[in-house]
Structure 1
Amino acid sequence: MKHLFLTAALALTSLPTFAGEAKPFAFGEPAPAAKATRTVEVVLKDIAFEPKSIKVKAGETVRFVLVNEGKLPHEFNLGDKAMHAEHQKEMVAMQGKIFTAGMNHEGMDHGQMDHSQMMGGGHGHDTGNTVLVQPGQRAELTWTFRKSAPIEFACNVPGHYQAGMVGPLTIE
């Protein structure tokens, strides 16, 4: 019974929020690119990020420009270890859609696509802390960091995190 309650609670928390608002996180929230005080380019390679770590200041709004130079779809996801572990379970369930998205939408700007619709509302791409970037594509994610927290940026495409596609994000 406890497992059923936990499953129901998780299902409710994964529902999309209303009025276009993103789910709040203790470490911050999505922000419009116009509010960014700094831009950080992150290159997504096959099983690596450049840079390998990122430092930000509490209160800072950072625009991440994500460039996928790899041959595989990659994700840029902000969260703690537990959030990444949960998101990886969701990604396994949606694995087929991740890899067929590029074939079905050739010529589209995947960074601007609503992946929550493509991947299902509970997938996690509707929370503002994640963007899926197809090979050869660019995308952006802008985030205001509120307070110090042990978080990481990671790719949660199945197997990528485990292969080392994760880096520390230090909020000072």
Structure 2
Amino acid sequence: MNTVTLALLFAALASPALAGGTHSDGHADAMAIGEPGKKAKATQTIRVTMKETDDGQMIFTPSDFKVRKGQTIVFAVKNAGELEHEFVLDQEDKVMEHKAMMAKFPEMEHDDPNAIRLTPGTSGEIVWKFTNDGAFKIACLIPGHYESGMHGDIVVAQK
């Protein structure tokens, strides 16, 4: 593939009209896992660390969460590792779709309220309102990170 063709492909993927949406097309409004929350309404802050371990694993600490339907959570996320990592909240099938897309386009830019990508030593947050009960996932979808253990579960219980 030549440079012009590759540039056109990336431009098409970045255009909602041509690609059927991007990471910033507002799909979060109808997500099964919930919707962006208002920090003032948060009832809990969960501090999450992302890092690599000495044995080659990549982890979230903690990696499993239990919250209540209707609850708004602030995820205070810190990248304590030496590599770039991301924290993505979603349904398992959507996580796997996103993972496949990231394998093809690892430098893809994100602009979703349910995801944050952090360089080493930086912190950020996601404020999220869980509007539905069920089982959901967290994951780092940078190629190879999920396979190295960087994923976990969120269980949203009915009130």
- TM-score category by the smaller chain? 0.7 to 0.9
Residue from 25, 30, 40 that aligns with 1:17: 25
Residue from 114, 119, 131 that aligns with 1:129: 114
Aligned to 2:123: 138
Residues 1-172 of structure 1 aligned to structure 2 (within 5 Å) = 11-14=19-22, 16-17=24-25, 22-46=28-52, 47-95=58-106, 97=107, 119-120=108-109, 125-172=110-157
For the Cα contact (< 8 Å) 1:23–1:127, is it kept in 2? no
- Paired residues, number: 138
Q: Deviations over 1:137-158 (max 9, x none)?
A: 0010000001112211111110
Q: 1:49 to 1:60 in 2, by over 3 A?
A: same
Q: 1:71 to 1:36 in 2, by over 3 A?
A: same
**Percent identity among equivalent residues?**
36
Tell me, which stretches of 5 or more residues in structure 1 are unaligned?
1-7, 98-118
In the superposition, the TM-score normalised over structure 1's length comes to 0.71
In the superposition, the TM-score normalised over structure 2's length comes to 0.77
Tell me, which stretches of 5 or more residues in structure 2 are unaligned?
1-15, 53-57
Which has more helix, going by share of residues? Answer: 1
Deviation at 1:31, TM superposition (A): 1.5
User: Partner of 1:150: helix, strand, or coil?
Assistant: strand
Code of the residue aligned with 2:124 in structure 1: it is A
Q: Distance in 2 between matches of 1:142 and 1:17?
A: 18
Bigger RCO of structures 1 and 2 (CA < 8 A, at least 6 apart): 1
Q: 1:15 to 1:84 in 2, by over 3 A?
A: closer
